[in-house]
Amino acid sequence: MRAQLEKNETAIASVTELTTTNDRLVAEKALLENTVNMAKAELVKAMGLRTRLEAELAETKKVAIAVETLKNKNAVLVEGKAMIQDRLSANEKSFSLLKADRDRLEMAYENLEKAKTDLSTEITQRNDELNKLRAELVEKSEDSEGIGALKEEKATLKAQLLKRDEDLKKARKELGKLQINATVLEKQLVSLKRTTASINPIRYAKGDANITNQQTRVLNEVQQVLKIFPNARFEIVGHTCDLGIADQNIDLSRRRAQSLHDFLLSKGIKKDRLKHRGMGQSEPAVPNTNEANRRQNRRVEVEILD
């Protein structure tokens, strides 16, 4: 009986120990599961961060490619502008030389005209003298030698006059060629100026006549044009879209042009270089078929006159 009791006590102790061990294992399992769940959550966060970083890296690569592309385009534009400037300088030099030749020929032409006039006057005088001598010849036949000398002199003067006429014709022909070449060169210079220098239009919100956000850009562009073409003049032209009343739109376009005109004056651009006008809705850049196009038409353009 005693032995059986000892066995039972031993069994109870084992069960108690097993129960304690099981409880400890259950607690450890719960703790482990909690740790695993936390690790999973951190992993999900890490994967999300990795995805975001990969997207940012891809975007950064795109930006880098875009920047490099812009650099290349800018280099091409700078090179093209330098070439245009060289062509412009060469054409301006040619134009100056051609103008000098034209001035020289005009002077020679004027001199020839004067010489022709002088010769004509002299021939008239000689004719008068000859007629006078002829009249006297009726009374005195012994003056025939003087009349012969005057006739010879008159013939000589006529020959000189004919030669001057030929020189004048040649001078007129050369002058005409020079004027044509000068006109062509002037057109080329204007074209090159407009290719080399331009000013982007100002865009407006509906009903707005304020250029605060864009006036500095326009000023800088005008100053850049003046560096290339020191004698340039500008016409500021205001435009509106088709919304509103036509007369009110003309007034608004004038105020827009006036606003830019006054700003440029206040920043040191000389008054004699600027003029302005408002065109209202009469000259749309694009058809007023939608709001995007109307935004394009609400503008002020700065045209380079010369």
Do 228 and 197 touch, CB atoms closer than 8 A? yes
Contact residues for 48 (Cβ-Cβ < 8 A; gap 6+):
none
For residue 169, what are its two tokens? 């014709």
For residue 303, what are its two tokens? 């045209």
- Cα three-residue angle 220-226-228, rounded to 5 degrees: 110
Decide if pLDDT at 118 tops 80: no
CATH of the domain at 225: 3.30.1330.60
User: Does 223 share its domain with 278?
Assistant: yes
**In total, how many domains does the chain have?**
2
Angle separating helix axes 144-196 and 2-139, nearest 10 degrees? 170
Decide if pLDDT at 201 tops 70: yes
Do 253 and 278 touch, CB atoms closer than 8 A? yes
Can you tell me the distance from the alpha carbon of 134 to that of 40, in angstroms, rounded to the nearest whole number?
A: 136
List, for residues 39-49, the tens digit of each pLDDT value: 788 878 878 87
Using DSSP, state whether 103 is helix, strand or coil.
helix
Last residue of a domain, one of 166, 196, 226: 196
Decide if pLDDT at 193 tops 60: no
User: Does 149 share its domain with 217?
Assistant: no
User: Does 219 share its domain with 178?
Assistant: no
User: Does 261 share its domain with 245?
Assistant: yes
Can you tell me the distance from the alpha carbon of 122 to that of 262, in angstroms, rounded to the nearest whole number?
A: 63
102 confidence band (pLDDT: 50, 70, 90): low
Decide if pLDDT at 274 tops 50: yes
108 confidence band (pLDDT: 50, 70, 90): low
Average pLDDT value for residue range 216-224:
87
User: Containing domain of residue 219, as a range?
Assistant: 202-304
Last residue of a domain, one of 178, 196, 214: 196
Do 175 and 102 touch, CB atoms closer than 8 A? yes
Identify whether 124 is part of a domain.
Answer: yes
Q: Could you tell me which residue, 92 or 44, shows the higher pLDDT?
A: 44
At 142 the pLDDT is: 47
User: Does 279 share its domain with 262?
Assistant: yes
Average pLDDT taken over every residue of the chain: 75
Identify whether 77 is part of a domain.
Answer: no
Rounded to two decimals, the pTM is: 0.42
User: Does 219 share its domain with 294?
Assistant: yes
At 87 the pLDDT is: 63
List, for residues 226-249, the tens digit of each pLDDT value: 887 788 899 999 999 999 999 999
Strand partners, 302: 236
Tell me the percentage of the chain whose pLDDT exceeds 70. 59
18 confidence band (pLDDT: 50, 70, 90): confident
